[in-house]
Structure 1
Amino acid sequence: MGDIDYGNLMHAAMRGLIRQVLTGVSETGLPGDHHFFITFSTHSEGVEIADWLMQRYPQEMTVVLQHWFESLDVDEDGFGVTLNFGDTPERLYIPYDAIRTFVDPSVEFGLRFESAHDDDDDEDELDAELAEVEEEPHGDAEIVSLDKFRK
């Protein structure tokens, strides 16, 4: 038996937590002021987004689950949701493996999934970044630049 792979075990636990949270939201809606910024890699296997979104965000994009979203369906591998981009509802499917960050600014909670190509100095900065997330009320889904989370 080889070494214990704590990194992969931790990622699996974090993805399980996201699945649990989204399953609850799909059943009963968002409680209180909770809302989520979810950044994901658009080119990961299993991601399903409109072609125009893929062209606009060829690497990664951030979606917000807050005031308006429909048909949140959560399964073992990921989740599907309909979001409103301007006046255009679009269906997205995001596998858990594609998620790079999951942030709930209402309680300053966040998860970052490190990968081999991430910058080394990005590690352990999420707590500091969370405090810097600026919230703006909005009725439609919003695409937020990841720069909002970086120093």
Structure 2
Amino acid sequence: MTRTIDYGNLMHEAMRGLIRKVLHGIEQDGLPGQHHFFITFDTLHPDVEIADCLSDRYPGEMTIVIQHWFDNLTVTEDGFAITLNFGDAPEPLYIPYDAIKTFVDPSVEFGLRFETQPDEDEVDDAPMEEMAEPEAEDEDHRDAEVVSLDQFRK
């Protein structure tokens, strides 16, 4: 068996560490300036803890906004707990980092996207064009960068 470096999982681990550090700073000092987050996560992840009414309403994935009102933000090594308002009803949530699909801070046009690992057959059949260099962007106009690692997975 040939051993290889799993860059995709290493990068995802680093990206989750970045989210953990950002949330830990928010836990300690609150949200600075205009920063706010849109976090989309897999509601079916076995370690996600949300109210039944929310999992019924959002079967599969849900996006939360951390902005004006939130409470009880607790950041751990594996995930974070937070209380958010849903229709004037505070609801506690626990979201493991492994369940996060996207993390976006639109105030600074920053975003991360976690892709699921495709089957090996899908990668072998992927056309080589997917590995092409991205087109150069106009320096006066750049959209938020979203990091996708699927094209580099083996």
With structure 2 as the length reference, what TM-score do the two structures score?
A: 0.76
One-letter amino acid of the structure 2 residue matched with residue 30 of structure 1: L
Cα shift at 1:116: 3.1
**SS of the residue 2:9 aligns to:** helix
Provide the residue aligned with 1:17 in structure 2.
18
Look up the match of 1:134.
none
Corresponding residue pairs, total: 124
- The residue that corresponds to 1:49 in the other structure is 50
Unaligned stretches of 5+ residues in structure 2: 119-125, 135-141, 146-154
Q: CA deviation at 1:45?
A: 1.8
2:104 is matched with: 103
**Equivalent-residue separation in structure 1 for 2:68 and 2:78 (angstroms):** 25
**Higher alpha-carbon Rg:** 2
| Cα distance in 2, alignment partners of residues 90 and 70 from structure 1 | 10
User: What RMSD, in angstroms, separates the aligned Cα atoms of the two structures?
Assistant: 2.0
Cα distance in 2 for residues equivalent to 1:45 and 1:5: 24
Partner AA of 1:87 in structure 2 = D
SS in 2 for 1:11: helix
**Which residue in the other structure is 1:94 paired with?**
95
SS in 2 for 1:81: strand
Secondary structure of 1:9's aligned partner: helix
User: What corresponds to 2:29 in structure 1?
Assistant: 28
5 Å-filtered alignment, 1:68-87, equals: 68-87=69-88
Structure 1: 5+ residue stretches without partners: 132-151
Cα distance in 1 between the residues matched to 2:94 and 2:27: 14
**Whole-Å separation in 1 of the counterparts to 2:117 and 2:4:** 19
Q: What residue number does 1:145 align with?
A: none
Query: Whole-Å Cα distance in 1 between the matches of residues 32 and 80 of structure 2?
Result: 19
Cα distance in 2 between the residues matched to 1:62 and 1:111: 14
State the SS of the aligned residue for 1:73.
strand
Between the aligned residues of both structures, percent identity stands at 67
Q: Which residue of 2 aligns with 1:63?
A: 64
- Once the two structures are TM-superposed, the CA of residue 8 in structure 1 deviates from its matched residue by 0.3
Q: Which runs of 4+ in 1 moved over 6 A?
A: none
Q: Which residue of 1 is the match for residue 151 of structure 2?
A: none
